[in-house]
């Protein structure tokens, strides 16, 4: 069931949750545990959960003795190759507490735009979910040549939600909701709800996330939310620390109403 209100979220059949680099790497690596707790709680009540997780490059940086996110593509790819391995191990070790098995899925936006690749990815994801495996999706950084342009996986998350026909997409960041301007600025007001088709012309976009780690910002999250909502998937944008409340249907974050298609006669 596609929820049309936050309180209907617990009844959603299939949910995609996206978490950014700054939320689960570096000093915030310990947030993986509470995130997994929330995902496992939803999984335990029968929800089919897909996690889209950034963080491979940020997680690999310390192992390459890098103090800042690399700017050249080859080093980004090297950091991702190391970090993806570490990241999936951290998730699986946390999921072990609930006897949930993760399945690693590495994609590029190009894969989802190519009909053959898209069909293969869709078939694999459906099989994983049917087997009660929790797919963990990330950008395939070692082969993607323009990783940065996808907004820290926000667009990829929307595309995955559309691929698996998710009822709900939850976009997590360091900020609890969308605001009319960057929340640290005077006069910023929290936006509780975005109606279907609302272009948010009054919003002044700023970055969301820790500088130097992720690549996304409020504008990329809104663009991804709009893409998913326009396809009929409800979207909730909120903070990683509020993921349990979000999946429980509590009044947190910014709710993007899904576009409801009208049956033809």
Report pLDDT digits (tens) over 2-46. 888 999 999 999 999 999 998 999 889 999 999 999 999 999 999
CATH of the domain at 222: 3.40.1160.10
* Interval 173-185 mean pLDDT: 89
Q: Is residue 237 part of a domain?
A: yes
| Contact assessment for residue 112 and residue 121, using Cβ atoms and an 8 Å cutoff | yes
pLDDT (tens digit per residue) in 5-17: 999 999 999 999 9
Predicted confidence (pLDDT) per residue in 212-252, tens digit: 444 457 888 899 999 999 999 999 999 999 999 999 999 99
**Would you give the DSSP letter of residue 186?**
T
Is residue 265, in this structure, part of any structural domain at all? Answer: no
Q: Render pLDDT for 57-116 as a digit per residue (tens, 0 to 9).
A: 999 999 999 999 898 888 988 999 999 999 999 999 999 999 999 999 999 877 888 899
Full residue range of the structural domain in which residue 99 is found: 6-256
Do 59 and 27 form a contact (C-beta atoms < 8 A)? no
Alpha carbon 149 to its chain's center: 15
* Residue 156 counted as domain residue: yes
Annotated binding residues for substrate, written as ranges, equal 54, 141, 153
Residue 148's pLDDT is what?
A: 42
Question: Half-sphere exposure (CA, 13 Å, Cβ side) for 38?
Answer: 25
Local confidence band at 151 (pLDDT 50, 70, 90 cut-offs)? low
Whether 263 is covered by a domain: the verdict is no
The structural domain count of the chain equals 1
Annotated binding site: 18, 54, 141, 153, 173-174
CA 234/CA 100 separation, integer angstroms: 26
Q: Does 183 reside within a domain?
A: yes
Whether 145 is covered by a domain: the verdict is yes
What is the model's pTM?
Answer: 0.91
Residue 198: alpha-carbon gap to chain centroid: 22
* Residue ranges of the binding site for ATP: 18, 173-174
Residue 215's pLDDT is: 46
Q: Is residue 82 part of a domain?
A: yes
> What pLDDT, on a 0 to 100 scale, did the predictor assign at position 187?
87
Which pLDDT score, from 0 to 100, does residue 150 have?
54
pLDDT score recorded for residue 60: 94
* Partners of residue 173 on adjacent β-strands: 239
């Amino acid at each position: 069931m596609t929820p049309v209100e936050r309180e209907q979220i617990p009844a959603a059949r299939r949910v995609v949750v996206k978490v950014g680099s700054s939320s689960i790497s570096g000093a915030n690596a310990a947030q993986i545990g509470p995130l997994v707790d929330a995902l496992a709680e939803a999984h335990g009540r029968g929800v089919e959960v897909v996690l889209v997780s950034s963080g491979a490059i940020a997680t690999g940086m310390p192992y390459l003795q890098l103090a800042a996110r690399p700017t050249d593509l080859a080093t980004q790819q090297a950091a991702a190759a190391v970090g993806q391995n570490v990241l999936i191990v951290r998730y699986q070790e946390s999921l072990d507490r609930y006897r949930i098995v993760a399945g690693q899925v590495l994609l590029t936006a190009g894969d989802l735009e190519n009909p053959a690749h898209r069909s293969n990815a869709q078939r694999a994801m459906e099989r994983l979910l049917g087997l009660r495996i929790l797919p963990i999706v990330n950008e395939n950084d070692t082969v993607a040549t323009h990783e940065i342009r996808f907004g820290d996986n926000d667009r990829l998350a929307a595309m995955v939600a559309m691929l698996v026909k998710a009822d709900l997409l939850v976009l997590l960041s360091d900020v609890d909701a969308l605001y009319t301007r960057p929340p640290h600025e005077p006069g910023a007001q929290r936006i509780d709800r975005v109606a279907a088709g609302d272009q948010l012309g009054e919003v002044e976009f700023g970055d969301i996330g820790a500088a130097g780690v992720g690549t996304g910002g409020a504008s990329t999250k809104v663009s991804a939310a709009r893409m998913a909502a326009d396809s009929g998937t409800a979207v909730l944008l909120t903070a990683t620390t509020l993921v349990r409340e979000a999946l429980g249907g509590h009044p947190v974050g910014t709710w993007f109403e899904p576009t409801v298609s009208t049956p033809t006669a």
